[in-house]
Amino acid sequence: MRFEVWAPFARDQVILRLDSDNGDDSDQGGGGNGGVPMAPDPDRPGWWCAEAPARDGTRYGFAVDGGPPRPDPRSRRLPEGPDGPSAVFLPDGHTWRHDPPRHGLRGAVLYELHIGTFTPEGTLDAAAGHLGELTELGVTHVELLPLCPFPGVHGWGYDGVAPWAVHEPYGGPAALKRFVDTAHGHGLGVVLDVVHNHLGPSGNQLPAFGPYLTEAHRTPWGPAVNLDGPGSDEVRDYLLGSALMWLREYRIDGLRLDAVHALADDRALTFLEELSAAVDRLGAELGRPLFLIAESDRNDPRTTTPRTAGGLGLHAQWNDDFHHGLHTLLTGEDQGYYADFAADPRAALARSLTRVWFHDGTYSSFRGRAHGRPVDPATTPVHRFVGFAQSHDQIGNRAAGDRLSALLSPGLLACAAALVLTGPFTPMLFMGEEWGAGTPWQYFTDHTDPETARRVREGRRAEFAAHGWPADEVPDPQDPETRNRSVLDRAERTREPHARLLAWYRELIALRRAQPDLTDPDPATVDVSYDSTTGSTNGSDGTDDSGGTGRYAVRRGELRILYNLGREAPARFPVGTGARVLASWEPSPGPDAAGDLVLGPESCAVVLGRV
């Protein structure tokens, strides 16, 4: 078997160490007896290679210049975690039973899922056993939070250090193939969250081999990943190869790229352009749609503008402005970045619904400067933006990890669902959102290094203390109970009001699939109207019918989605006698003789027909 490693920092030698004490009784080519000297590759500067007998599961590592054996930077499997040896994983060991579905992004409904808390077991196999529930819900893609190895057992996954491997406590690479195959059998696509912008604070072995990091740029995590300095050709190839591996060998359907705004890259051809071009080529080769979704806080439409039009060519990006406007409107929170949206949250949400971003060159008081630039729908249709009411970031980065279900009534949760699922953007749900899960989703870690654990714990408490949170109210990330509290409780699904909310999500997703207006990518088909007065004037029957603050309406072609966000009075909407109610949170008999539809407080309805 051929072993190879890029190790330009090696001055004299690289030794392949093979572990013969792993149940393999074959000749290990010197394992445990000094190892196998590797030779420089004459055709690839900085690369070392060797041939040695090995089979699936054989442990191995590389020792540079007499140092300790370290895991392969391109290891496919790390059975003992990032600090242990690599293990050979043969990519052809799985017999695929199902072909990937051919869902593109237009018309998609994404479902963000964290393997470690989706089930009590916290494994890929356990999660696969519940994929039928997601088919019944109606989503099209499961979006997995990062799976790359990190220290310990439980964590969010954003501290990964080995981007070619799968976290062993989740089941390792074989379990991921089983999960993807099962998902495809249910008709679900699979999106994988990958992190290219930094490496975790512990377990990172890459600096011993080569210039994977650079001091030329600094990030919140320290030295930046080297995308533009000496040696960056190989670093970029390392990340590109990892991304394409997930799509080709694991049949993943798309990748979500974490915080692309943190990629420091001054080269003329950026890493993101190179990646998007490579993914497009692979999709054409495989004959199935593949896509990249960026997380970016720049509000820059060039991220998703096609490369032929001067953009980076990614296929979609998260729309935080939509989330912030929706959250501020429904909760009234105004701290941090919500302050920009709090002056008039109704107008802020309307601007996002019709223009994609609230900040498209406008002044941001949170940043103290202008932010963003306008979207041109001719080059960037609105389905290239992902809209959501909740995400792992927006829940988990709250001090207590509280979901919207801890802040809003079931009626307002139903309104949030309608704003997302009938909105112009590609919708995304966070696991458990569909039944208003009562469990929090908190920030948890399992660092094995005591000093790293201490820094994370104290840093988390200091961060929220600056915002007025007492230290004893901020969950300890290292406490196992913090993770345990975050595990979904599926028994809630059959109890009220959770069961009713779950039925509402199913109804809205089915409606989105059945009504072409709801997936029309032209923002010109979106119109928003709302009450602009600060007071409420009620009619003789007690309804809010002349400018009360609760009424909010969104038009999508021939559909109108009507909201009474008020807490007390019913609201009257003129819809016309011919209008038809397609879905309603509160039971509604339809328009009255005058052509008005009356909605109770904190409720919504989808109506077909225009006045």
Q: Is 430 annotated as a binding residue?
A: no
**132-168: per-residue pLDDT in tens?**
999 999 999 999 999 999 999 999 999 999 999 999 9
Pairing label, strands 39-40, 47-51: antiparallel
510: pLDDT strictly greater than 70: yes
CA atoms within 13 A on the CB side of 276: 24
Report domain extents, the chain.
110-203+255-261+292-512, 531-608
Query: What is the reported pLDDT for 582?
Result: 95
Report the alpha-carbon distance of residue 488 to residue 143 in Å, rounded: 17
549: pLDDT strictly greater than 80: no
The backbone torsions φ and ψ at residue 609, rounded to the nearest 5 degrees and listed phi first, read 120, 140
Q: Is 159 annotated as a binding residue?
A: no
**486-508: per-residue pLDDT in tens?**
999 999 999 999 999 999 999 99
Q: What is the residue type of 251? A: R
- Of all residues in the chain, the percent with pLDDT exceeding 90 is 84
21: pLDDT strictly greater than 60: no
91: pLDDT strictly greater than 50: yes
**Active-site residue among 265, 295, 360, 544?**
295
Give mean pLDDT, residues 463-472: 81
Average pLDDT value over all residues in the chain: 92
Q: Is 560 annotated as a binding residue?
A: no
Of 160-174, 351-365, 588-602, least confident by mean pLDDT is 588-602
Based on the residue annotation, tell me whether 258 is a catalytic residue of this protein. yes
Neighbours of 338 (CB within 10 A): 18
- Report the phi/psi class of residue 582: left, alpha or beta, with left for phi > 0 and alpha for psi in -120 to 50: alpha
Residue 200's pLDDT band (boundaries 50, 70, 90)? confident
Structure tokens belonging to residue 405: 């279900």
Q: Is 19 annotated as a binding residue?
A: no
Query: What is the reported pLDDT for 473?
Result: 85
**531-608 maps to which CATH number?**
2.60.40
Query: What is the reported pLDDT for 564?
Result: 96
28: pLDDT strictly greater than 50: no
Contact 338, 327 (CB under 8 A): yes
468: pLDDT strictly greater than 80: no
Q: Is 12 annotated as a binding residue?
A: no
Contact 605, 554 (CB under 8 A): no
Query: What is the reported pLDDT for 31?
Result: 43
Peptide bond into 45 cis (omega under 30): no
Contact 430, 488 (CB under 8 A): no
538: pLDDT strictly greater than 60: no
Query: What is the reported pLDDT for 396?
Result: 94
394's enclosing H/E stretch is helix 392-396
Is the entire prediction scored with pTM above 0.75?
yes
Q: Is 398 annotated as a binding residue?
A: no
Q: Is 561 annotated as a binding residue?
A: no
Q: 110-203+255-261+292-512, which class in CATH? A: alpha beta
Q: Is 114 annotated as a binding residue?
A: no
Give mean pLDDT, residues 420-448: 97
Give mean pLDDT, residues 86-107: 92
Q: Which of residues 21 and 546 earns the better pLDDT score?
A: 21
26: pLDDT strictly greater than 70: no
- Of all residues in the chain, the percent with pLDDT exceeding 70 is 95
Residue 590's pLDDT band (boundaries 50, 70, 90)? confident
Helix/strand/coil (H, E, C) string of 64-120? ECCCCCECCCCCCCCCCCCCCCEECCCCCCCCCCCCCCCCCCCCCCEEEECHHHHCC
Give mean pLDDT, residues 506-530: 94
Task: Specify which residues 606 forms β-bridges with.
Answer: 561, 583
Query: What is the reported pLDDT for 481?
Result: 97
Query: What is the reported pLDDT for 33?
Result: 54
Q: Is 520 annotated as a binding residue?
A: no
Q: Is 323 annotated as a binding residue?
A: yes
Query: What is the reported pLDDT for 543?
Result: 52
Query: What is the reported pLDDT for 292?
Result: 98
Q: Is 371 annotated as a binding residue?
A: no
